[in-house]
Structure 1
Amino acid sequence: MPSIHADHHYTHDADTVWHRIRGFGDLKSWLPGVTDCSVTGTGVGATRTVSMATGGQVIEELVAYDEASRRFSYRIVAAPGVREENRFVATVSVRPVDKGCRVTWQADFDAADTPPEKLEAARQGGEQMYRFCLSHLATLLDS
């Protein structure tokens, strides 16, 4: 199963960073390109509809949330270029490290019917986007 992985070290403590990103419906405050994010339901099973500046929408479902471990997982229900059978599930976690914390954002998905060259391009594009978003978060935290 292919995966996407990005992580970023922050000089801020884990609680500070976690409090900034833990809100399932709060993407607009830190994720670049998000113009709106609405949530239906609460807790695990809640869905969010994310509207992008490009005009696209992504619908995601919260599948796990652990406040104590500073970790949540979501699956993409609907998105441009992502099919339900891709079973795209991502996890974001914040853990303390020396002199700050590390945020890891990783995703696994099934792309059995995708040609290898397209799969690798999609994987690299996902990693690039995750790294950009985590770098943008660092800028917000430092301002």
Structure 2
Amino acid sequence: MASTSVSRVVPASPQQVWNLIGGFASLPDWLPYIPESTALEGGRVRRLTNPDGDVIIERLVAFDEAERHYSYAILQAPFPVNGYVSTIRVHTVPGRDDIAEVQWSGRFNPDNATEAEVVELFTGIYRDGLAALHQSLAS
């Protein structure tokens, strides 16, 4: 099983960050790669569409409001992986209440791709996503 993790400090309090990203259907609010999210099954499943029209379906597998994190599994996607589970987590920065650290991590099995290829793919998605989050919070 392959894995990757990317962290970034963003210019907002942990609660402000969580208010923006903590909703399972909130990706379009901060992630340009996902302009559309439809909640299904009472909000436990999301149907995402990317700018190319590709559909990604994900299921919420864990959610912790107090600890500010959630995990999800991909049910359907145009990615060369299976067994994908990812977590988005908001951390406090000791001694600071005006910034937060956001960590986006995932583990997955390559499927018709090398481990290096899928690690590079998701590292890039997470890095670009957290850069977009930073930009959204900075403006």
TM-score, normalised to structure 1's length?
0.88
The answer to whether residue 85 in structure 2 is matched with residue 89 in structure 1 is yes
User: Which residue matches 1:119?
Assistant: 115
Deviations 1:27-64 (A, max 9, x none): 11111122210011236xx1100011011010000000
Alpha-carbon separation, structure 1, partners of 2:5 and 2:29: 22
The answer to whether residue 136 in structure 2 is matched with residue 137 in structure 1 is no
Alpha-carbon separation, structure 2, partners of 1:12 and 1:63: 26
Deviations 1:66-106 (A, max 9, x none): 000000000000001345xx210000000100332110000
Percent identical residues? 32
User: Which residue matches 2:108?
Assistant: 109
Higher-strand-fraction structure: 2
Contact 2:11-2:137 within 8 A present in 1 as well:
no
CA RMSD after TM alignment: 1.5
SS of match in other structure, 1:65: strand
Task: Identify unmatched segments of 5+ residues in structure 1.
Answer: none
Give 1:123's aligned amino acid.
Answer: V
SS of match in other structure, 1:126: helix
Contact 1:33-1:53 within 8 A present in 2 as well:
yes
Task: Identify unmatched segments of 5+ residues in structure 2.
Answer: none
Give 1:20's aligned amino acid.
Answer: L
Following superposition, the deviation at residue 114 of structure 1 comes to: 4.8
Contact 1:89-1:108 within 8 A present in 2 as well:
yes
SS of match in other structure, 1:34: coil
Q: Which runs of 4+ in 1 moved over 4 A?
A: none
Report how many aligned residue pairs link the two structures.
Answer: 136
Following superposition, the deviation at residue 129 of structure 1 comes to: 1.4
Give 1:105's aligned amino acid.
Answer: W
SS of match in other structure, 1:69: coil
Contact 1:33-1:54 within 8 A present in 2 as well:
no
Alpha-carbon separation, structure 2, partners of 1:82 and 1:63: 21
